[in-house]
């Protein structure tokens, strides 16, 4: 980390400073700390009284922040009273000695977020001085208050320049002076015969990138360039008239990105405008009227070689050109006319290499050894090693040959890459006929007047001062002087171009040159009633995603009452960067809206996938809506992608410094195709639908990785602390704890596995949970080294109306910016039949210690543990990143929100209360609920004041849990700490002893159940979890009661020796034993018992289904059972089966009643082969005969959507009616009975009584397989 400059906080007018303030920092060094990446550990010096950050490629960084009631001037910050000690190499542990700075390295910034204001310090406590390693013990930081006479400078509401006149787009190449002829104007569609040439204007920002920092003063509108229109004086465009103007091309160096090329596009667009008023024109250069005191007859000539072909690690925004492999030597020639060899050239060479062993590269210039690059061996998380040369050297002639020779040290799999070579050389100021851009760096340090003398200038026509493209001045060489002179004031560097009108560049017309008028800056705030309206929510997308983005907007308008605006990228690029793509153009637009929305703007949705490749160089690229990528491009832990960039609105932000804080919540819809976009919006729509209401909303799952090494005990303990935190603060939430090490580990040919954990996770998600939180190891393919949840699991989840927020503060689970390697997180989010509605997830490797703090803090906001407010998932993440416990941590940028940023978790509102048990008021209840006792529960739905909501009618779901169960992990991997195996003791909810539904009438409810024999006999508190849904209203509520005792047995219970009644079906209740199903059928079970079904998981008393007699293929179905409404005796199960092989299958089902009587039943079904022919059977219509209504029934062997065509004929063969309809839309039923008929013909007339023949044709939409049958029907 090199803090080589300070961010300046801008105000609109002059500043003044006052007396210095001082902050003393004493560093409390203690024992070393181990940081764990996914594959490697790093042991580094540690302190415990400030935030300790570590990155392998940066080193140790101390961060801290403190509140001040004023802003500081970052230019007036100093580090003083430095107390340091000398140390040896052994004392820095695994720090890379080469990464340590050679002087004190620090940065103090203002850190702002909405109404929060702090000072933020970053400090590297190690440095090298004269090759001596030093460690800082204490220091003081001095800073001065910044005062201003006015408020911060905000972007003000305005209209776009694109709203008036006619607009045309064209393209330029390299920097230089271009000629636009009348023919060229005509080719763009300009009507040159009817316009005044003086009304033509050219706008554009050039080929350079926009500043990343908000503190850079850069206009939001495209800049009007000063041009020269030769022949415009007569007000007519004649055939010999033409425009000349200077354009900045792609060859513009960026300090922020250390590149000579534009990172976002290979095109440079300018906009030509025809509108009222005269345009800007170049004007005559006004030279000082005093004699010069300096003659300037030399200039700096800058040349570079840079090609962007490879992103070595497929991360970050740095791209490289030539690759050194078998061809290990490459030469690069640069020729400088009139080079002054007595003055050194400034040479930069940036390179990198990938090798498992140290390698090197030699640098030669004109066959002279200059330097040697040394590359370290790569090791996770560092994927490449870089080295560079940046210094002055002398050369002896104008032809400069740069030679790079890579030594792979005998490793043929090693590669080196060239980023760029640049040379700035001093040359005689002489014109050779070609366009000449020149400047002199030395004049900035001189005073007085200088005279530029350009020799050999007899063919030179003009010299332009292009330092300010809006105010270009020129001087003509009207006398064809051999030595052409320009005088200028000194003290600053000016940039000039000399050219001959016979050597002008030609622009490229655009295929869609004409641009429609637009006024985004104004129209974005205009309501349907033509009033100004502040914006709550912005959605930015591409043209192909607009229809689905608008659907999302409408959902949020209707459900969340937000003012949402949707904008496509092209419109933003047109207005904020003269049609050139740039992430800063997007950010500038968002900031413009934020500044002018009176603080209303809360949410930003980036609707579309993103990629590490901005320019579509890789196959199958998905850079729909670009994200921000770090310049650091080699580390999986610090080279990050982040959408935070678009949510930081303060003037000192944008460089993605650690001090930058989010002002708005940002989310991304990971849609890579319009169809995917539709699927994802469908999921969002379904999340708000009535079908998605249910008691699953009371559930949360906490998953913990096992302990493979001693330090990993913190993973289990953190997960358990997290669960406890939620249980204490939100008792209405039911926590399902899936701690891998509490299950039996199995050894397989593929390594250690936890099959029971896989099943528990999948079943837990499918039963339903509002939040699923995983903490532990992970990667692109799934979570945990034992693969307890992977891409396949994510794809096959069936929880369509029970979508969760999946929190995975683990490594790379959703590294979505590589289009050619899709991740488990993406599959989880993309799943059309379930998965997640939102992801709080990582895109790079994150250290475990960071994950611990981040996870705990996140839950405070995600579950609103300390607030009555409910935040959206993205807002919870924003608040977490800005929280003082997290905002000092650099790696917080790695965490993304994937989903709709305005979506809040569907927490039911309180408050449901139990009022009596067995007609005893709850407050008077002393007796426990005993096994085999019939229990009566009464209660009510209450308002905020405790009053009964007597207008509340609906349905209650009650889940009754036995006492908490004490459990322990198993230390499967035999990991010890202090000579003891690492074992975590924890508690889980008791077994479910009843789950049923009851009617709510006028706010009151009542239900009964029999307590199972299998409860724990000890008497202690159980838990009643309550959920209600109001009929015809999308309103739900929750409640809980944890003070009812459960235990003991009812010795007077009546005898019951009869097991439950069982009816089995596949897919639906019309199924006939032995019938046909698809490969993913549902097992449907209907159960009855006079005392109820046992779900309490007593030993050997589970509800089970065994597939094909294989006891290893046993499914436990307790969690899938639910009693019927107001009926504890009847209930049902619907359980999904997956990926069954074609052929005959058998399911043996067993269930127990609460008295522990069992019954069994068996069902057979035939899974059809997708490769088989389409078969229909049992074709009939019912009723038959009929009068005015009949249904057409048939069985089939397909899981596809089917087209059904029924033609009805008289017995003589006359066609009287055709019916066309689709069936099997769910793909889960082997019986079709969807097609109905009223007995009327095509004209709506009743058909005569009698016998008719019908032909039924069925076609699979997916495979196009067809079949048909003929049957008869009778109309009475």
What pLDDT digit, counting tens, does each position of 824-838 carry?
999 999 999 999 999
Q: Which residue would you say has higher pLDDT here, 1214 or 75?
A: 1214
Same domain, 505 and 527: no
pLDDT at position 149, please?
Answer: 37
Instruction: Answer yes or no: are the C-beta atoms of 97 and 90 closer than 8 Å.
Output: no
First vs last C-alpha separation in the chain: 89
Residue 877 has pLDDT above 80, yes or no: yes
Note the pLDDT of residue 148.
57
Domain that residue 1031 falls in: 910-935+949-1049
SS3 785: coil
**The domain boundary residue, chosen from 1049, 1070, 1104:** 1049
Domain boundary residue, one of 409, 428, 447 = 428
User: Could you tell me if 381 and 463 lie in one domain?
Assistant: no
pLDDT one-digit tens code per residue, 311-353: 999 999 999 999 999 999 999 999 999 999 999 999 999 999 9
C-alpha to C-alpha distance for 1118 and 1105, rounded to whole angstroms: 11
Strand, coil or helix: 584: helix
322: in domain: yes
Reported as a single tens digit per residue, the pLDDT across 1120-1160 is 999 999 999 999 999 999 889 999 999 999 999 999 999 99
List pLDDT tens digits, range 369-416.
999 999 999 988 899 999 999 999 999 999 999 999 999 999 999 999
Write down which residue in 1114, 1145, 1167 finishes a domain.
1167
| Residue range 185-209, pLDDT digits in tens | 999 999 999 899 999 999 999 999 9
- Reference 1101, options 1022, 1012, 1162; nearest CA is 1012
Cis peptide before 350 (omega within 30 of 0): no
Q: What is the average per-residue pLDDT within 723-742?
A: 97
Question: Are the C-beta atoms of 223 and 470 separated by less than 8 Å?
Answer: yes
The residues with which 996 forms a beta bridge, in sequence order, are: 958
Detail the DSSP E strand segments found in 1011-1081.
1020-1021, 1023-1030, 1036-1041, 1045-1049, 1061-1066, 1076-1077
Yes or no: say if 185 and 58 are a contact pair by the CB < 8 Å rule. Answer: no
Burial string for 537-572 (b: 16+ CB within 10 Å, else e) reads bbbbbbeebbebbbbbbebbeeebebbbbbbbbebb
Average pLDDT over residues 796-802: 96
- 196 and 263: one domain? yes
* 1182: in domain: yes
Neighbours of 945 (CB within 10 A): 5
Is residue 787 in a domain?
yes
Name every residue whose Cβ is closer than 8 Å to that of residue 264 and which is 6 or more positions away in sequence: 209, 580, 581, 582, 583, 614, 615, 626
Q: Are 906 and 692 in contact (CB under 8 A)?
A: yes
Give the per-residue pLDDT at 19: 59
- Both 823 and 689 in one domain: the answer is yes
Distance CA(1120)–CA(1118), nearest Å, equals 5
Question: Strand pairing partners for 772?
Answer: 701, 806
Higher pLDDT, 312 or 512: 312
**Omega prior to 699 cis, within 30 of 0:** no
Please report where in the chains the tokens 């129209």 appear, as a residue.
Answer: 523
Strands of the sheet with 1114-1116, listed across from one edge? 1076-1077, 1158-1167, 1143-1152, 1104-1107, 1114-1116
**How is the beta sheet containing 105-113 ordered, strand by strand?**
51-55, 59-67, 116-124, 105-113
User: What counts of helices (H) and strands (E) characterise the chain?
Assistant: 12, 85
In eight-state DSSP terms, residue 655 is: S
**147 pLDDT tier (thresholds 50, 70, 90):** low
- Read out DSSP for 212-225? SSTTS---SSPPEE
DSSP 659-672: T---SSEEEEE--S
Phi, psi of 875 (to 5 degrees): -70, -35
Are the beta carbons of 510 and 187 closer than 8 angstroms? no
Confidence of residue 153 (pLDDT cuts 50, 70, 90): low
- Mean of the per-residue pLDDT values of the chain: 93
Q: Return the pLDDT at 1261.
A: 87
| CATH label of the domain that carries residue 1077 | 2.60.40.650
Q: Are residues 144 and 272 in the same domain?
A: no
What CATH number does residue 595 fall under? 3.40.50.10390
- As a whole number of angstroms, the distance between CA 981 and CA 963 comes to 28
Cα gap 949→913, rounded to integer Å: 12
Check pLDDT > 90 for residue 1072. no
Which CATH number covers residue 810? 3.40.50.1460
How far is 424 from 440, CA to CA, in rounded Å? 11
pLDDT for residue 154: 62
Does some domain include residue 576? yes
Output the 3-class SS for 236-266. Answer: CCCCCCEEEEEECCCCCCECCCCECCCCCCC
Asked if the structure places residue 870 within a domain, the reply is: no
Sign of CA dihedral 676, 681, 687, 689: negative
| Residues 467, 404 within the same domain | no
Instruction: Give how many domains the chain has, as a whole number.
Output: 8
Neighbours of 747 (CB within 10 A): 8
pLDDT given for residue 1214 in this prediction: 94
Residue ranges with strand state E in 1137-1175: 1143-1152, 1158-1167
Three-state SS for 839? strand
Percent of the chain with pLDDT over 70: 97
Residues 705 and 801 reside in one and the same domain: yes
Co-location of 1232 and 1158 in the same domain: no
Q: Does 545 reside within a domain? A: yes
Instruction: Report yes or no on 897 lying in a domain.
Output: no
What's the helix, strand, coil split of the chain in %, to 5?
15, 40, 45
414 and 560 fall within a common domain: no
Instruction: Give the span between the Cα atoms of 1261 and 474, in whole angstroms.
Output: 70
Query: Are residues 1148 and 1220 both part of a single domain?
Result: no
List beta partners, residue 981: 976
Helix (H/G/I), strand (E/B), else coil: 74: helix
Question: 499, 177 in Cβ contact below 8 A?
Answer: yes
Chain length of the chain: 1276
Distance of CA 261 to the CA centre of its chain: 27
Query: What 3 state SS string does 720-760 have?
Result: HHHHHHHHHHCCCCEEEEEEHHHCCCEEECCEEECHHHHHH
Q: Is residue 361 part of a domain?
A: yes
For 944-984, write each residue's pLDDT tens digit: 899 999 999 999 999 999 999 999 999 999 999 999 999 99
Distance between CA atoms of residues 227 and 444, nearest Å: 27
Q: Give the pLDDT score at 1200.
A: 81
Instruction: Report whether 345 contacts 423 (CB < 8 A).
Output: yes
Average pLDDT over residues 688-713: 95
Residues 39-74 have pLDDT tens digits of 677 899 999 988 888 888 788 999 999 988 888 888
Please give the structure tokens belonging to residue 588: 């500038």
Six token digits for residue 580: 């050139």
pLDDT score at 9: 31
In this predicted structure, the answer to whether residue 18 has a pLDDT above a threshold of 60 is no
Q: Is the pLDDT of residue 3 over 80?
A: no
Residues 20 and 113 in one domain: yes
- pTM of the full structure: 0.88
pLDDT of 1023 reads 98
Do 137 and 210 reside in the same domain of the chain?
A: no
**pLDDT tens, 72-104?**
888 889 999 999 999 999 999 998 888 888 888
Query: CA-CA distances (angstroms) from residue 568 to 593, 764, 958, 1179?
Result: 15, 39, 47, 52
pLDDT band at 12 (very low <50, low <70, confident <90, very high): very low
Query: Are residues 355 and 415 in contact, defined by beta-carbon separation less than 8 angstroms?
Result: yes
Convert 1067-1129 into a string of H (helix), E (strand) and C (coil). Answer: CECCCCCCCEECCCCEEEEEEECCCCECCCCCCCCCCEEEECCCHHHEEECHHHEEEEECEEE
Give the Cα separation of 630 and 769 in Å (integer). Answer: 35
Residue 123 has which token pair? Answer: 């400090």
Rounded Cα–Cα distance for residues 167 and 1243 (Å): 56
1213: CATH: 2.60.40.10
pLDDT tens sequence across 232-262: 999 999 999 999 999 999 999 999 999 999 9
Residue ranges with strand state E in 557-660:
564-568, 603-607, 628-629, 641-642
Whichever domain contains 334, its CATH number is 2.60.120.260
Of 213-227, 275-289, 1052-1066, 1220-1234, the one with minimum mean pLDDT is 1220-1234
Question: 1199 pLDDT exceeds 90?
Answer: no
């Amino acid at each position: 980390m090199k803090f080589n400059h300070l961010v300046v906080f801008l105000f609109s007018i002059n500043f003044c400073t006052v007396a210095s303030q001082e902050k003393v920092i004493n560093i409390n060094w203690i024992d070393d700390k181990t940081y764990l990446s996914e594959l490697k550990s790093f042991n580094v010096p540690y302190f415990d009284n400030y935030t300790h950050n570590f990155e392998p490629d940066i080193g140790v960084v101390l961060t801290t922040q403190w509140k001040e009631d004023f802003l500081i001037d970052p230019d007036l910050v100093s580090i003083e009273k430095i107390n340091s000690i000398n140390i040896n190499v052994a004392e820095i542990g695994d720090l890379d000695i080469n990464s340590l700075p050679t002087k004190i390295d620090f940065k103090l910034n203002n850190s702002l977020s909405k109404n929060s204001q702090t000072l933020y310090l970053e400090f590297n406590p190690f440095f090298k001085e004269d090759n001596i390693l030093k460690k800082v013990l204490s220091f003081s930081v001095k800073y001065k208050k910044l005062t201003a006479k006015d408020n911060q400078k905000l972007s003000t509401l305005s209209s776009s320049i694109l709203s008036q006149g006619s607009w045309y787009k064209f393209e330029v190449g390299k920097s230089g002076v271009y000629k636009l002829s009348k023919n060229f104007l005509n080719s763009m569609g300009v009507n040159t015969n009817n316009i005044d040439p003086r009304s033509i204007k050219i706008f554009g920002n050039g080929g350079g990138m926009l500043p990343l920092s908000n503190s850079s003063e850069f206009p939001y509108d495209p800049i009007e360039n000063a041009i020269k229109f030769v022949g415009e004086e007569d007000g007519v465009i004649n055939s010999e008239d033409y425009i000349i103007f200077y354009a900045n091309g792609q060859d513009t160096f960026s300090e922020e990105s250390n590149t000579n090329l534009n990172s976002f596009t290979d095109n440079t667009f300018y906009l030509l405008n025809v509108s009222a008023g005269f345009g800007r024109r170049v004007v005559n250069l006004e030279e000082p009227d005093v004699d010069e005191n300096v003659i300037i007859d030399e200039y700096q000539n800058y040349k570079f070689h840079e090609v962007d072909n490879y992103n070595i690690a497929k991360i970050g925004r740095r791209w490289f050109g030539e690759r050194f492999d078998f061809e290990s030597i490459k030469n690069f020639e640069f020729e400088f006319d009139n080079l002054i060899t007595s003055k050194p050239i400034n040479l930069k060479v940036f390179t990198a290499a990938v090798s498992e062993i140290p390698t090197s590269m030699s640098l030669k210039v004109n066959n002279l050894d200059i330097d040697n690059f040394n590359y370290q061996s790569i090791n996770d998380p560092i994927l490449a090693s870089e080295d560079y040369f940046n210094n002055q050297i002398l050369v002896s002639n104008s032809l400069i040959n740069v030679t790079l020779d890579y030594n792979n040290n005998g490793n043929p799999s090693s590669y080196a890459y060239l980023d760029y070579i640049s040379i700035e050389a001093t040359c005689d100021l002489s014109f050779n006929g070609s366009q000449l851009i020149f400047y002199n760096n030395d004049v900035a340090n001189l005073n007085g007047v200088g005279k530029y003398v350009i020799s050999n200038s007899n063919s030179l026509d003009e010299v332009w001062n292009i330092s300010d493209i809006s105010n270009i001045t020129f001087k003509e060489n009207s006398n064809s002087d051999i030595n052409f002179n320009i005088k200028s004031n000194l003290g600053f560097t000016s940039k000039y171009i000399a050219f001959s009108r016979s050597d002008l560049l030609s622009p490229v017309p655009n295929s869609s040159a004409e641009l429609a008028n637009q006024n985004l800056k104004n129209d974005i705030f205009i309501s349907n009633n033509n009033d100004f309206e502040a914006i709550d929510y912005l959605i930015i997308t591409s043209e192909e995603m607009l229809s689905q983005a608008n659907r999302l907007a409408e959902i949020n308008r209707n459900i969340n009452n937000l003012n949402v605006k949707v904008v496509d990228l092209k419109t933003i690029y047109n207005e904020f960067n003269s049609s050139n793509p740039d992430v800063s153009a997007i950010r500038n637009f968002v900031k413009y809206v934020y500044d002018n929305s009176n603080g209303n703007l809360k949410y930003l949705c980036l609707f579309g996938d993103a990629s590490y490749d901005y320019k579509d160089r890789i196959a199958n690229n998905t850079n729909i809506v670009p994200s921000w990528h770090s310049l650091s491009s080699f580390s999986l832990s610090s080279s990050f992608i982040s959408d935070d960039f678009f949510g930081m609105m303060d003037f000192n932000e944008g460089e993605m410094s650690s001090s930058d804080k989010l002002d708005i919540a940002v989310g991304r819809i990971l849609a890579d195709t319009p169809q995917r976009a539709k699927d994802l919006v469908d999921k969002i729509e379904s999340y708000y639908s009535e079908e998605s209401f249910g008691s699953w909303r009371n559930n949360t799952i906490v998953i913990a990785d096992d302990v493979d090494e001693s330090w990993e005990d913190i993973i289990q303990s953190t997960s358990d602390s997290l669960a406890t935190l939620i249980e204490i603060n939100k008792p209405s939430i039911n926590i399902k704890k899936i701690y891998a090490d509490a299950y039996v580990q199995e050894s397989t040919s593929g390594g250690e596995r936890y099959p029971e954990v896989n099943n528990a996770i999948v079943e837990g998600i499918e039963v339903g949970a509002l939040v699923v939180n995983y903490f532990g190891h992970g990667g692109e393919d799934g979570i945990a080294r034992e693969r307890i949840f992977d891409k396949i699991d994510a794809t096959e989840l069936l929880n369509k109306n029970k979508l969760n927020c999946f929190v995975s503060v683990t490594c790379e689970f959703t590294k979505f910016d590589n289009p050619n390697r899709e991740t488990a997180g993406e599959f989880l989010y993309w799943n059309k039949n379930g998965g997640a509605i939102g992801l709080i997830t990582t895109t790079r490797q994150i250290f475990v210690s960071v994950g611990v703090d981040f996870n705990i803090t996140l839950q405070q906001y995600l579950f609103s543990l300390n607030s009555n407010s409910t935040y959206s998932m993205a807002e919870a993440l924003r608040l977490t990143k800005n929280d003082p416990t997290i905002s000092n941590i650099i790696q917080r940028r790695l965490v993304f929100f994937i989903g709709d940023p305005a979506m809040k978790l569907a927490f039911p509102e309180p408050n449901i209360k139990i009022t009596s048990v067995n007609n005893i008021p709850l407050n008077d209840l002393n007796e426990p609920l005993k096994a085999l006792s019939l229990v009566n529960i009464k209660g009510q739905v209450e308002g905020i004041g405790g009053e009964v909501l007597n207008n509340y009618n609906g349905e209650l779901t009650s889940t009754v849990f036995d006492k908490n169960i004490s459990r322990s992990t198993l230390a499967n991997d035999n990991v010890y700490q202090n000579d003891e195996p690492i074992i975590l003791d924890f508690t889980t909810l008791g077994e479910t002893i009843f789950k049923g539904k009851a009617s709510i009438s006028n706010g009151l409810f009542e239900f009964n159940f029999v307590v199972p024999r299998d409860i724990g006999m000890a008497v202690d508190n159980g838990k009643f979890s309550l959920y209600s849904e109001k009929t015809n209203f999308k309103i739900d509520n929750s409640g809980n009661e944890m003070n009812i005792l459960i235990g003991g047995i009812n010795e007077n219970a009546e005898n019951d020796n009869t097991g439950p009644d069982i009816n089995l079906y596949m897919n639906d209740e019309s199924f006939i034993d032995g019938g046909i199903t698809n490969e993913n059928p549902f097992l449907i079970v209907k159960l009855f018992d006079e005392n109820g079904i046992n779900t309490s998981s007593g030993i050997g008393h589970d509800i089970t289904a065994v597939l094909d007699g294989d006891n290893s293929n046993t499914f436990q179905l307790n969690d899938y059972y639910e009693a019927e409404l107001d009926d504890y005796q009847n209930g049902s199960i619907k359980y999904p089966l997956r990926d069954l092989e074609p052929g005959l299958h058998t399911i043996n089902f067993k269930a127990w009643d609460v008295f522990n009587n069992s019954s069994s039943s068996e069902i057979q079904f035939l899974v059809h082969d997708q490769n088989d022919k389409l078969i229909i059977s049992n074709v009939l219509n019912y009723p038959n005969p009929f009068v005015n209504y009949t249904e057409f029934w048939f069985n089939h062997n397909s899981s596809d959507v089917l087209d059904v065509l029924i033609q009805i004929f008289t017995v003589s063969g006359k066609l009287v009616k055709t019916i066309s309809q689709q069936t099997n839309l769910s793909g889960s039923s082997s019986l079709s009975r969807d097609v109905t008929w009223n007995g009327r013909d095509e004209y709506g007339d009743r058909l005569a009584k009698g016998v008719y023949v019908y032909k039924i044709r069925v076609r699979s939409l997916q495979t196009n397989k067809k079949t048909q049958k003929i049957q008869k029907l009778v109309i009475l």
